[in-house]
Amino acid sequence: MHRPSRIDPRLTYDATGRPICPTAEVWAALSPAERADLSERIRLGLVAVREAQPPQGTPHERAIRRTLDRVERQFDRKRRGIFLASDLPVEYPGAAAFAPDLLAVLDVATHDRNAWNVATEGRGLDFVLEVHFAGDASKDLRENVERYAGLGIPEYFVYDGARRRIAAWHLDDDAARYLPVLPQYGRYPSRVLGLEFAVVDDALRVYVDGAEILNAKDEIVTLVAALNDRERALAAEAARAESEAARAESSLDAARRLLEAVFESRGLALTEADRTRIRDCDAAERLTAWGLRALTATTAAEALAD
């Protein structure tokens, strides 16, 4: 792998070209202006490292943006503070700086930052996600596993977009080493975030309590689809009701014609008023009763009596 040139002689670098952060003691002795200058030099060093790596393309950017948005929406709903960032320089005292694809720190102020400096913040990261689409995956799947475990980051997830799979680790109970996170029904649970990650339809998706977290656009699309389904169901129900009403009216017409035929076969003369009464009757039970009477009645009036 190509190693970037050291761009600042005032910094030391690790074997991969990443600038080494000062110790907590050195950082504490710096003035605010010196700290800002040092952080900027570290950032430029990380930029040089990133530019030396193969470009990941828009799928890489899209996966990060989608995931960050969904995690942020869930924590907004819970009204719990979480600091989320992508490609932000992270500075652990005495360690090589790095800029993960997505980082999360829980229960902290969410104001903008140019870097996450552990010495200044007083704590490290809680969660890291790396997204891989192109090039050698060994950095994400091997080197970073050792690096992040050594820094004490509780959870580390990798979405390998090229192979459509997830790998994840969490610190053991002694916070000494990473153990693999095992999937549950195809989803990888994050104990830190209280969420689940899975690859569905060739995309990284985020779940909470078994339900997928959607962004605003997806929620609107889902709502519109649900409304369309409801409208179709109502239209089908109305069509069925109309069809049933038509069938009922057809049955009544048949019953009316049959009743008049019974009267005629028995020689029971119907007046125009009698015929109107039969045509206006919409109760099948009454038509049946009239028909039964007509079988024994001596006059139409007798058969049609209330």
250 plus 168 within the same structural domain: no
pLDDT surpasses 90 at 260: no
Strand order through the sheet with 211-212: 188-190, 195-200, 203-208, 211-212
What percent of the chain has a predicted confidence (pLDDT) above 70?
A: 91
- pLDDT tens by residue, 190-232: 999 999 999 999 899 999 999 999 876 665 555 556 667 777 7
Q: Which of 160, 195, 213 is the last residue of a domain?
A: 213
The band of 179, judged by pLDDT with boundaries at 50, 70 and 90, is very high
209 plus 275 within the same structural domain: no
pLDDT for 90 equals 96
192 plus 266 within the same structural domain: no
User: Average of pLDDT values for 49-64?
Assistant: 82
| Tokens (6 digits) for 162 | 């090229």
User: Average of pLDDT values for 26-35?
Assistant: 90
pLDDT surpasses 80 at 248: no
192 plus 60 within the same structural domain: yes
208 plus 233 within the same structural domain: no
- The residue segments making up the domain with residue 164 are 24-213
β partners of residue 205: 198
What integer best gives the mean pLDDT of the chain?
Answer: 87
pLDDT surpasses 60 at 121: yes
∠198-201-202 over CA atoms, to 5°?
75
48 plus 154 within the same structural domain: yes
214 and 70 Cβ atoms separated by less than 8 Å: yes
137 plus 277 within the same structural domain: no
Least confident span in 3-7, 76-80, 122-126, 216-220? 3-7
pLDDT for 50 equals 78
- pLDDT tens by residue, 84-111: 999 999 999 999 999 999 999 999 999 9
Flag whether 18 is in a domain. Answer: no
pLDDT for 5 equals 52
- pLDDT tens by residue, 151-172: 999 999 999 998 999 999 999 8
pLDDT for 2 equals 45
Q: Judging by beta carbons within 10 Å of its beta carbon (0-12, 13-18, 19+), is residue 194 exposed, middle or buried?
A: middle
98 plus 163 within the same structural domain: yes
Q: Which of 184, 213, 242 is the last residue of a domain?
A: 213
Q: Which of 151, 186, 213 is the last residue of a domain?
A: 213
Q: How many domains does the chain have?
A: 2
What percent of the chain has a predicted confidence (pLDDT) above 90?
A: 45
| Tokens (6 digits) for 257 | 């014609």
- What's the CATH number where 89 sits? 3.90.1570.10
31 plus 124 within the same structural domain: yes
52 plus 200 within the same structural domain: yes
Flag whether 130 is in a domain. Answer: yes
Flag whether 117 is in a domain. Answer: yes
pLDDT surpasses 50 at 1: no
The 10 Å Cβ neighbour count of residue 109 is: 9
58 plus 179 within the same structural domain: yes
258 plus 111 within the same structural domain: no
Flag whether 105 is in a domain. Answer: yes
More confident residue, 126 or 269: 126
